[in-house]
Chains A and B, each alone.
Chain A
Amino acid sequence: MIINVTSIFVDDQKKALEFYTEKLGFIKKNDMPAGEYRWLTVVSPEQPDGVELLLEPDEHPAAKAFKKAIAADGIPVTSFAVEDAQAEYEKLKAKGVVFTQEPVQMGPVLVATLEDTCGNLIQIASMDKDASNA
């Protein structure tokens, strides 16, 4: 058994695809009609055969309530690995991405939290080079 897809609840699939590809730099992997929505996934260009991120509609009222409550407390729904969170933060900020948490050192990890414009917070994290070599 392998994990091949993980999902994120988005308020608008078209807007989500734009953000996740144009801002975060992922590439579209699957796009198939599914009822009134789409089976829409993106992957990292660094790992095109890796885990797919499903941009899943948040049309269920519970999904909306869940997103609202955890965003209010600043809790990210997931975390993406980057080479250097500081450099990524600066690159994304220059592209207009909004951060709720600027890069902060948390033990061996540098983390920052950004808004995905679709109602979610995403954490980016880089492991210190010294720590990963240890």
Chain B
Amino acid sequence: MVAYNGRMDLVFKALADPVRRKLLDELADTDGQTLFGLCSRMIMRHQLAISRQAVTKHLLMLERAGLIRTEKQGRYKLHYLQTAPIADIYDRWIAKHRNERN
């Protein structure tokens, strides 16, 4: 339970930042993107003046929280959305509440 709460802290911290939520939005739109793909979407679709280094840091926080995973495919490193931690949030509060109402 302690480990679970520790990870949940990371999840909520990761989700608390608007740039990181936009990165998740873009992966939900198209999964398996490169760092370049995500950087260009941040700049061109969200008008963010953000450096590649900053995006890399945000991605690292999302990865530590289990919200994304990275995979080396050939010569490319791709980023994938992982929804399990968000499903955990649903299970913890919403799923139970819905059952009670039903």
CB pair B76 A107 closer than 8 Å: no
Contact code string A89-132 (vs B, CB < 8 Å = 1, else 0)? 00000000000111011110101010000010100000000000
Interface hit among A17-25, A26-34, A70-78: A70-78
* A104–B41 CB distance below 8 A: yes
Partner of B36, one of A68, A74, A102, A107: A74
Report B60 CB to chain A, min CB distance, Å: 14
Q: Residues of A contacting B83 with CB < 8 Å? A: none
- Size of the A side of the interface (Cβ < 8 Å), in residues, is 19
Contacts of A109 in B (CB 8 A): 44
B34, A101: Cβ atoms under 8 Å? yes
Taking a contact as CB atoms under 8 Å apart, the answer to whether B35 and A106 are in contact is no
A73 to B75 alpha-carbon distance, docked (Å) = 9
Q: Which residues of A contact B44 (CB under 8 A)?
A: 106-107, 109
Whether B41 lies near A76 (C-beta < 8 A) is no
The residue on B at minimum CB distance from A109 is: B44
Choose among B36, B37, B77 the residue with the greatest number of A CB atoms under 10 Å from its CB.
B36
- CA of A120 to CA of B76, assembled, Å: 11
Q: B34 to A74, Cβ gap below 8 A? A: yes
**Complex contacts, A68 vs chain B, CB 8 Å:** 75
B interface residues (Cβ-Cβ under 8 A, vs A): 30, 33-37, 40-41, 44-45, 52, 75-77
13 CB < 8 A contacts A-B: A71-B75, A74-B33, A74-B34, A74-B35, A74-B76, A75-B35, A75-B36, A101-B34, A105-B45, A106-B40, A107-B45, A111-B40, A121-B36
